[in-house]
Structure 1
Amino acid sequence: MATAARTPNMSAQEWEARQQLAACYRIFDHLGWSELIYNHITLRVPGENDAFLINPFGLGYHEVTASNLVKIDIDGHVLDGSPYPVNRAGFTQHSVFHRHLPDAHCIIHTHTTAGMAVSACAEGLRPISFYAAAFIGHIAYHDFEGVTIRPEEGERLIAHLGDRRVMMLRNHGTLVMAPSLTEAFLKQWLLQRACEIQVAAGAAGTPVDIPPEVIAVHQRDLAEVQLPVGPGVPDFQSMIRLIDRTDSSWRN
């Protein structure tokens, strides 16, 4: 596995993005959100609208470092001479959103057990918890069409997403996007918690839906409980401190 540091022709902004994304992969692995060598978190390279960073296909999330992330263009072509391939099924989906949504700087796709379980239910995410209440009215749904390698599915993905930035891929998993990696991370954490609670509540008894008027108040007031440093920033920094206690090799 490559462990080289920043190359002379790499901008400071790209290296910072690489370290942030590598940390995110390690955090996902720590939280049990990885899926062998599959799934993706992609991040646009700052200042380069058509350049993105993605995990090297063939490595687990616990092996990702800042230097072995692969830099690709909007069509998935390698730009940095990386010896690693890119998972076509993963980036076909991500490239559609990166191409058509200027605010989709970071995109997260997972196959967690709870996320896949909820995506496989006809009712989707139900308004039964503190966390789920934040998403009600803000989740798009897209029916399963098989492994995502056909470009023509992109038109339907965009149409089904609309103006929302969280999607349940039915029978498949979850998709989250945001203008920053930290915000995308926080959305993913909240969505994962909502899905876990729904699965547990269904096993425990009969879940009770939160009334729409309470959901409206909840969503209105959520901004009041965040630190003024940007969505997800303190949460992500806390997780970095946690993973650094055992392994900081992601920084290389």
Structure 2
Amino acid sequence: MFKLEQKSLKNLVSACEWEVRVNLAACYRMVSIMGWDDLIHTHISAKIPNTEHYLVNAYGWGFDEVTASSLVKVDLDGNVIGDNMSDINPAGFTIHSAVHEARPDVMCVLHLHTNETATVASQKCGLLPYSQYSMFSLNSLSYHSYEGLAVDEDERLTLQNDLGSHNHMLLINHGALTVGPTIGDAFMRMYDLQRACEIQIMMQSTGQQIIKVNQSILDDVARQQKAVNLGKTGGVLTWPSILRRVHKKDASFAS
């Protein structure tokens, strides 16, 4: 009962799908390493290129246990594709399917329940321009009000409308969500948002007056990001180092 069994799918899926599986499993493991996971709850999903199929964690597997082969392939309605006997959390996939449906530009959707993002999301002031990390999120940040356990189909539309074309979202009384054209991009956007929330709470805890970054600089950061990254986020350059870090800690993620 304590051993999780999963046959290797490496030679049973396309090379493209296997690459996505390995990268997504690494993302789950890295979220666990960072201490951002929530037992078997929350999810990271990724679209398999040139298909309408998506990968998500099997319900009941901890983030530190996820492997490339354990990920479950589903369609946009959450129906399991293939002979994988594992189930997914349908309530959890509601959020992901809504985003994937509305944002064809998005490959990966990362949704977490960290203390810091839930705290800042639920402050009336929201995320404030208190640190350089907040600069990376504020130019593409939206908010979504709490509507319950995300099991109602009606919430899909409000979530889609609230996200719009933004890449970062704070879910009030709930947590955070980021999206990206690659798994690495979605991870780095969450990294920046998480750090911004951590720093904001730490600054607020001092009880001292905090110096805000003015709007003109905030606006210019967006321009600077485009100039430096040529339209790409930091995930492209950072992700290989994350893969190496996860591999050194436990190479089983790639099985």
TM over 0.5: yes
Residue 187 of structure 1 is matched in structure 2 by 189
Residue 133 of structure 1 is matched in structure 2 by 135
Quote the Cα distance in structure 2 between the aligned partners of 1:7 and 1:16. 9
Query: Which of 9, 13, 19 is the matching residue for 1:10?
Result: 13
CA RMSD of aligned residues (A): 1.7
Work out whether residues 226 and 232 of structure 2, in 8 Å CA contact, stay in contact via their aligned partners in 1.
Answer: no
1:242 aligns with 2:239: no
Identity of aligned residues (%): 35
1:114 aligns with 2:116: yes
Q: Cα distance, 1:47 vs. partner?
A: 1.6
Work out whether residues 70 and 80 of structure 1, in 8 Å CA contact, stay in contact via their aligned partners in 2.
Answer: no
Quote the Cα distance in structure 1 between the aligned partners of 2:64 and 2:111. 17
- The C-alpha deviation readout for 1:179-233, integer Å capped at 9, x for no partner, is 1111111111111111110010100223221110111222211245449987412
Q: Cα distance, 1:121 vs. partner?
A: 0.6
Instruction: Compute the TM-score of the two structures, normalised by the length of structure 2.
Output: 0.93
Q: Cα distance, 1:134 vs. partner?
A: 2.2
1:144 aligns with 2:150: no
Q: 1:236 to 1:60 in 2, by over 3 A?
A: same
Work out whether residues 22 and 65 of structure 1, in 8 Å CA contact, stay in contact via their aligned partners in 2.
Answer: yes
Residue 163 of structure 2 is matched in structure 1 by 161
Quote the Cα distance in structure 1 between the aligned partners of 2:148 and 2:200. 25
Query: Which of 120, 123, 126 is the matching residue for 1:124?
Result: 126
Query: Which of 93, 113, 125 is the matching residue for 2:95?
Result: 93
Name stretches of at least 5 consecutive residues in structure 2 with no aligned partner: none
1:29 aligns with 2:11: no
Aligned length: 251
Residue 221 of structure 1 is matched in structure 2 by 224
Residue 203 of structure 1 is matched in structure 2 by 205
Work out whether residues 2 and 67 of structure 1, in 8 Å CA contact, stay in contact via their aligned partners in 2.
Answer: no
Work out whether residues 139 and 219 of structure 2, in 8 Å CA contact, stay in contact via their aligned partners in 1.
Answer: no
Quote the Cα distance in structure 2 between the aligned partners of 1:188 and 1:130. 14
Quote the Cα distance in structure 2 between the aligned partners of 1:223 and 1:189. 19
Residue 51 of structure 1 is matched in structure 2 by 53
Q: 1:240 to 1:137 in 2, by over 3 A?
A: closer
- The C-alpha deviation readout for 1:72-93, integer Å capped at 9, x for no partner, is 0100011022222111111011
- One-letter amino acid matched to 1:250: F
Instruction: Compute the TM-score of the two structures, normalised by the length of structure 1.
Output: 0.94
Work out whether residues 139 and 218 of structure 2, in 8 Å CA contact, stay in contact via their aligned partners in 1.
Answer: no
Residue 251 of structure 1 is matched in structure 2 by 254
Deviates more, 1:143-152 or 1:131-140: 131-140
1:105 aligns with 2:107: yes
Q: 1:245 to 1:7 in 2, by over 3 A?
A: closer
Work out whether residues 26 and 250 of structure 1, in 8 Å CA contact, stay in contact via their aligned partners in 2.
Answer: yes
Q: Cα distance, 1:3 vs. partner?
A: 4.3
- One-letter amino acid matched to 2:245: L
Q: Cα distance, 1:94 vs. partner?
A: 0.8
Quote the Cα distance in structure 2 between the aligned partners of 1:102 and 1:162. 12
Q: Cα distance, 1:34 vs. partner?
A: 0.5
Quote the Cα distance in structure 2 between the aligned partners of 1:174 and 1:202. 20
